[in-house]
Amino acid sequence: MALKLIRKFVASSLLFVTAASASAETFVFTAIPDEDETRLVERFRGVADYLSEQLDVDVRYIPVKSYAAAVSAFRNNQVQLAWFGGLSGVQARRLVPGSEAIAQGVEDEAFQTYFIANTSTGIDPAEDLASLEDQLRGKTFTFGSKGSTSGRLMPEFHIRETFEEAPEDFFARVGFSGNHTRTLRLVEAGTYEVGALNFQVWEKELENGNIDTNAVQVIWETPAYPDYQWTIRGDVNERFGDGFKERVKEALLALDDQELLESFPRSGFIPASNEDYEPIRKTAEEIGILD
């Protein structure tokens, strides 16, 4: 009889531990590495703390080394939420049916790419990219990451559309810096004569006094397009409980910590949907980045 009671107690205890473990599952998210890693870790650890408090679950941010790695982590369910650029978000949602864009920065409705040039080139700023053809042809040029919307997709689209040539045919040499901050530094140093980067990175670095404006300047700004967004997997309610997806969305939209928002930098978050990024999908297909 005593042995039966012991077995029953052990079985009950194991059941309790298993149930407790299931309810305490960690919600994991990542972000594309579009800037210096140290800054990203500081920013998104703050987001993790905020979401953990709002959702009453353990929330963890994991950094990745590339845009492709962020998409892969989302596809493999290593992360359930991601801060993607326009293109990486489109790629991720194609790979994970049911996933949704749920929030974007206020500034992401009308995002821009800045073309920048080392001042030694003598290239003057212009409102029309076509007018810069003679000055740009034969220069060295760097994009950001190959998977970047503002650092690769949109600038390549405008180069092809305006000059009717592929970047590698129009420029003497084309590179991929890996992120927007590095693009800025490479052009500022003269390693590349011209480059394309996220306008928010330029404005933030300029505000902080981190740009030598005697060495580098903005020469052209693209028309506006939709960009960054939070994308969540469609199966999170099954894993974390009914209504969890909506709770995540509400938490992101309610984020009003000015220091945290400034680190993005964004003035706040607003609702987003997959349909908002159809222009990005079509552009990517048009220039052959998406099949």
Give domain 112-221's CATH architecture: 3-Layer(aba) Sandwich (3.40)
Q: Under CATH, to which class is 21-109+226-286 assigned?
A: alpha beta
CB atoms < 10 A from the CB of 259, how many? Answer: 8
Quote the pTM value: 0.82
Q: Check if 21-109+226-286 and 112-221 are the same fold.
A: yes
Tens digits of per-residue pLDDT, 242-253?
A: 999 999 999 999
Give the model's pLDDT for residue 290.
81
Give the model's pLDDT for residue 24.
57
109: closest CA among 268, 227, 281, 234?
227
Ranges of each domain in the chain: 21-109+226-286, 112-221
46: closest CA among 31, 61, 28, 62?
61
Strands 194-198 and 113-118: antiparallel
Tens digits of per-residue pLDDT, 138-183?
A: 999 999 999 899 999 999 999 999 999 999 999 999 999 999 999 9
245 token code pair: 């997806």
Answer for the pair 55, 27: CB distance below 8 angstroms, yes or no. Answer: yes
30 token code pair: 């990542």
Give the model's pLDDT for residue 170.
98
Give the model's pLDDT for residue 36.
81
Give the model's pLDDT for residue 131.
98
Q: Is 178 helix (H, G, I), strand (E, B) or coil?
A: coil
176: closest CA among 216, 133, 145, 220?
145
Given a cut of 50, the residues of the chain with pLDDT beneath it are 1-23
